[in-house]
């Protein structure tokens, strides 16, 4: 069978430039970690959204810690003022923790030392020291529970009740002076919010 030839119209025309290798410029590769991949092709350039912008870095920056604006510092300042006012009214007669124990015993009656500590927000070591000092001064007394001899109940003595009667008006004045800069409605709101934190 005769070999079918290629028509002249389909034959490639070789010009003077035929046979010369035309050097193509390789695609640009990105510097740094964006090295050329297989066959010399550039790796995909990360989109701008994948790299943190200056704006996002500013938004994610942790704000400075301004001590004067922190709740713990503000509460400590308020308590320091309250402690000074308490000392001015009570002098060396009673400390704030001793008064708290006496006032709570007057409110709830006889209770265990452990319960008294919880009711006055004192840890075990603190309430023990308070009870020991008030006992030595004759303001409170410990006695077995009438229903459970293993339990020891703390109660106010007659001298302790007199100490409460002398101190109750002074304690009210300390609380009033501590909140004196606030309007009556603001005092109510402040106490309600602080109770929520506690």
Each residue of 134-179: pLDDT tens digit?
Answer: 999 999 999 998 888 788 999 999 999 999 999 999 999 999 999 9
For residues 95 and 55, give the distance between their C-alpha atoms in angstroms, rounded to a whole number: 54
pLDDT of residue 76: 97
pLDDT at 59: 72
Is residue 7 assigned to a domain? no
59-85 residue pLDDT tens: 788 999 999 999 999 999 999 999 999
How is the chain split among helix, strand and coil, in percent rounded to 5? Answer: 50, 5, 40
Averaged confidence pLDDT in the chain = 83
The reply to whether 105 falls in a domain is yes
Q: What is the tally of structural domains in the chain?
A: 1
> Residue 187: inside a domain, yes or no?
yes
Give the DSSP H or E segment for 161: helix 158-178
Closest CA to 142 of 93, 101, 171, 107: 101
DSSP assigned state of 139: S
> Residue 57 above 90 pLDDT?
no
- Please check whether residue 56 lies inside any domain of the structure: no
Q: Is residue 25 part of a domain?
A: no
Residue 144 forms beta bridges with which residues? 152
pLDDT classification of 114: cutoffs 50, 70, 90: very high
> Could you list the residue range(s) of the whole structural domain that residue 135 is in?
70-197
Is residue 14 a part of any domain in this protein?
no
| Nearest in space to 110 (alpha carbons), one of 147, 57, 69, 62 | 147
pLDDT, residue 198, reads 85
pTM over 0.85: no
Are 183 and 125 in contact by the 8 Å Cβ rule? The answer is: no
What was the pLDDT predicted at 17?
A: 46
* 12 pLDDT above the threshold of 80: no
Residue 135 forms part of a structural domain: yes
Q: Residues with Cβ < 8 Å from 119, sequence gap 6 or more?
A: 104, 108, 111
**CATH code of the domain in which 85 resides:** 1.10.10.10
Stretch 13-30: mean pLDDT, rounded?
Answer: 49
> For residue 111, is it within any domain?
yes
């Amino acid at each position: 069978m005769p070999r079918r030839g290629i028509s002249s119209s389909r034959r490639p025309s070789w010009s003077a430039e035929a046979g010369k290798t035309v050097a193509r410029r390789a695609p640009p590769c990105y510097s740094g970690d964006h090295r050329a991949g297989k066959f010399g092709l550039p790796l995909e350039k990360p989109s701008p959204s994948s790299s943190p912008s200056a704006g996002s870095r500013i938004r994610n920056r942790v704000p400075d810690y301004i001590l004067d604006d922190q709740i713990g510092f503000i509460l400590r300042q308020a308590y320091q003022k309250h402690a000074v006012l308490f000392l001015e009214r009570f002098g060396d007669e009673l400390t704030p923790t001793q008064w708290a124990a006496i006032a709570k015993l007057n409110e709830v009656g006889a209770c265990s030392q452990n319960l008294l500590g919880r009711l006055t927000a004192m840890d075990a070591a603190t309430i023990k020291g308070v009870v020991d000092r008030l006992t030595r001064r004759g303001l409170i007394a410990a006695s077995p529970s009438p229903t459970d001899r293993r339990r020891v109940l703390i109660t106010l003595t007659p001298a302790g009740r007199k100490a409460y009667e002398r101190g109750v008006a002074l304690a009210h004045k300390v609380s009033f002076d501590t909140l004196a800069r606030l309007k009556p409605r603001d005092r109510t709101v402040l106490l309600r919010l602080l109770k929520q934190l506690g």
